[in-house]
Amino acid sequence: MITTYRGEALRRRRRLLTFISAAISVAAALPLSTASSAHAEAPTDSCRKTHLAQIIFWGVACAQPGQPVIGAFGTWRNIPIKFESVATPKTTVRAANRLVMVPNTEKSPFANSVEVGLYAEKTGQTTSSYQPGWIESGENGGQFHNIAQGTDPTKPDGTNHTYMLIRQPSGDQWDVLYDFNWVGSTTDQLKVPRGNANRIDVGLEVMGPQYVTVPEISSRVQYLNEGKAWSRVSADNTAQVASLGICGQNIPFTKPPKQYQPPYCFKTKMTGGSSFTQWSVSKPGPGQSPSLSGNSSLAGPGKTVDLTPGVVNGVEQADLARCMENSPDACLSRVPGLSECIRTARLCNAAAVNGKSLISAHIKAEKITKREIGKRAAVSFGVPERTLRVTPGDGRRSGSHGFGAQSSNEDSPGVWTVEASAATHGLQGRNVTFRGFRATYSTDSGQLLDACWGRMCDR
């Protein structure tokens, strides 16, 4: 009987392995819209730990596909963000919708990361900036870069834009792409051990929630596996965090029961069934009903599409323009040559090479003063205002060079450069400080152009 039982068990095991092998083969051939065949537990614990800061609040979805990830893709529309017209000299007020890649989560959920997204910030009582950009958080500090390309990237006009992070073919660094064009590369990311779980976060980050209103922003996400195939993450492998609370839900441990109410709450929704297709999040402003909603469709706002003729690096530009207008999350599979181009060339979208508006449209009639910029930088970087050195520039902006160094930017009419050697947390909410920072702001709009902190300023 023992022999028979073992023989039957072996036969069942062989049939199971055959079934699993066949299932993997079928899953590899499934179209993009299906869930990934890999399975892993949702990164609930790491997602919560990463998004529990006291002055920064998040409405995000965290995905861990369960297999090596060498690329992340996100797309959403430029949605208008409203700031209250009040003075906030001691509070940084901003909202950002971000795609974040944490390549190596082996040591800590707070590991080095790179993010790209849309950043809006209150720059004065009645002024604000609105811009795409990217941030690297590393062992030695961090860096922020404004993205100065694309079709009207600084206008909240409902236009679709795409955000991508692609691991370089050799080494451990990542390329950053906006609207399918290269805009920068990391320099301080960790080596990714074989089998390490990568994490992708997407969604809204808010500071000063009582002063900002964010209509619904709907982000669609995909990841690139080692087989160079774009897939969606299984919903089972996704965790959600709304650190302000969900509008209308009961606040724990309150008697009598109270509910989360604007402006201190988020509205969130994940759609796609078994696959994580879309994350929608909004944050009502002061006095608003929790039912704040927006248009979750990626269909464009109905403006005329600028059809750039010809083929660039194997990509038919007219096909790409039409796809960007109506279904940017499908472009990688529908536009011939695009998936290959983003891995082998820096330029894939000719229409987005030069931005039509580098500086945000919300500009004061007079220049931003030295004192205004100093106060704002002190709050943003968490350093005493007396430790700052603020100097004017002639249109050159800071790069990832040494303290006091600048690199050319002919598009900006003037800048303020702010420097300090005091300890700073940089522009991210990690519980880590670094020595010194440098940041460059536009004198016209107060818009942050670039910044570095810690030893990243020495590169």
pLDDT given for residue 30 in this prediction: 32
pLDDT given for residue 20 in this prediction: 36
The 3-state secondary structure of the chain reads CHHHHHHHHHHHHHHHHHHHHHHHHHHHCCCCCCECCCCCCCCHHHHHHHCCCCCCEEEEEEECCCCCEEEEEEEEECCCCEECCCCCCCCCCEEEEEEEEECCCCCCCCCCEEEEEEEEEECCCCCEEEEEEEEEEECCEEEEEECCCCCCCCCCCCCEEEEEEEECCCCCCEEEEECCEEEEECCCCCCCCCCCCCEEEEEEEEECHHHEEEEEEEEEEEEEECCCCEEECEHHHEEEEECCCECCCECCCCCCCCECCCCCCEEEEEECCCECCEEEEEECCCCCCCCCCCCCCCCCCCCCCCCCCCEECCEEHHHHHHHHHHCHHHHHHHCCCHHHHHHHCCCCCHHHCCCCCCCCCCCCCCCCCHHHHHHHHHHHHCCCHHHCEEEEECCCECCCCCCCCCECCCCCCCEEEEEEEEEECCCCCCCCCEEEEEEEEECCCCCEEEEEEEHHHHC
Can you tell me the distance from the alpha carbon of 165 to that of 376, in angstroms, rounded to the nearest whole number?
Answer: 30
pLDDT digits (tens, 9 = 90+) for 337-371: 999 999 999 999 999 986 544 444 444 446 789 99
Instruction: State the pTM of this model.
Output: 0.84
pLDDT given for residue 50 in this prediction: 79
* Residues of the chain under the 70 pLDDT cut: 1-40, 53, 107-109, 195, 289-308, 354-366, 394-413, 429
pLDDT given for residue 371 in this prediction: 93
Q: Say if residues 313 and 347 touch (Cβ distance below 8 Å).
A: yes
Fold of domain 44-283:
Jelly Rolls (2.60.120)
Q: Hey, how many other C-beta atoms are within 10 angstroms of the C-beta on 454?
A: 22
Q: Say if residues 262 and 290 touch (Cβ distance below 8 Å).
A: yes
pLDDT given for residue 357 in this prediction: 44
Closest C-alpha among 414, 418, 438 to residue 426: 438
pLDDT given for residue 111 in this prediction: 78
First to last CA, the chain: 71
Q: Say if residues 265 and 186 touch (Cβ distance below 8 Å).
A: no
Q: Which residues contact 317 (CB under 8 A, 6 or more apart)?
A: 307, 308, 309, 310, 311, 349, 350, 351
Closest C-alpha among 286, 296, 285 to residue 216: 296
pLDDT given for residue 104 in this prediction: 80
pLDDT given for residue 350 in this prediction: 95
pLDDT digits (tens, 9 = 90+) for 254-272: 999 999 999 999 999 999 9
pLDDT given for residue 43 in this prediction: 87
Q: Hey, how many other C-beta atoms are within 10 angstroms of the C-beta on 55?
A: 10
pLDDT given for residue 17 in this prediction: 40
